[in-house]
Copies of this chain bind each other. A is one copy, B any other.
Amino acid sequence: MTMVSGKVTLLSAGPGDLDLLTIRAAKALERADVLLLDDLANAQLATLAPNARVIRVGKRGGCKSTPQAFIQRLMRRYAAKGLHVVRAKGGEALLFGRAGEEIADLRRAGIEVEIVNGISSGFAAAAGLGVSLTHREHCQGVTFVTAHLQDDSEPDWAALAATRTTLAIYMGMSRIAHVCARLAETLAPSTPAAVVQWAGSASERRLLSRLGSLADDVAAAGFGSPAVILIGDAIGAAEGFALDASSASAQDDANAAPRRPLDGYAYAA
């Protein structure tokens, strides 16, 4: 196989704020000849790639999505010219980013692929809530899962719930009522839950609730995509969780602080 002299960097652009990029990512952007900007990546990334031709391959703003095959062809074409192509993806490229297909395609074409890790929105969401995803008093791990499967089927929610790991659910907002109902067949409705929209960006919004009331609270507070849904006892350690009005246990707790709004938090009525 002939190796081409260009290369492709699959770059994890993190959840939004530019200072959540890794130093390695910033260096790769500096050296980029071509920057392919994904729909969920911060457009300001282009300011870190002064020498790059910037191509938006996103679908923000109601425009039609750039077909995956076209994006892959772009990467091959520019790399074949000997250029350094940086393909920037929101969050962590190795989590729900179709990186698997792109890596396979580039390898078949004899193109060198470099992968630069980044911060996935699930971790940024936990940081915003001030919780560990794996508080050892509550769970043994965390599962990242997408509610949106390739074949329009759905994950095995009963099997996922049975692990008793914290669940970080991506791309689940459009079917949150259904997802919560399925999980509630295994988990208690009182299980702590949260939604963090635009985690790790200046627009971050957080909502604390419980599994049984999460979908209603999300609708009432007007939360939408992109957002991460977090479910599990570890989420109960979030700052302000006991103040949540939908929490029966908080209402029963005579020592609970009076309810007050916390910066960036939404509380359902």
Contact = CB atoms under 8 A, between A and B. Distances in A.
A150 interface: yes
Contacts of A104: 237
A28 to B, nearest CB: 10
Contacts of A149: 136, 140
Interface string A132-146: 111111101111111
Given A19-B22, A22-B22, A23-B26, A137 B150 contact: yes
A8 B1 CA distance: 53
Contacts of A131: 94, 100, 103
Given A100-B137, A141-B155, A239-B107, A113 B130 contact: yes
- The contact size tier of chain A is 35 or more
Interface in A97-136: 97-101, 103-104, 107, 113, 115-120, 123-124, 126-127, 130-136
Interface of A: 14, 17-24, 26-27, 92-101, 103-104, 107, 113, 115-120, 123-124, 126-127, 130-138, 140-146, 149-150, 155-156, 159-160, 162-165, 200, 234, 237, 239
8 contacts: A14-B22, A20-B117, A94-B133, A94-B134, A100-B131, A103-B131, A103-B132, A143-B163
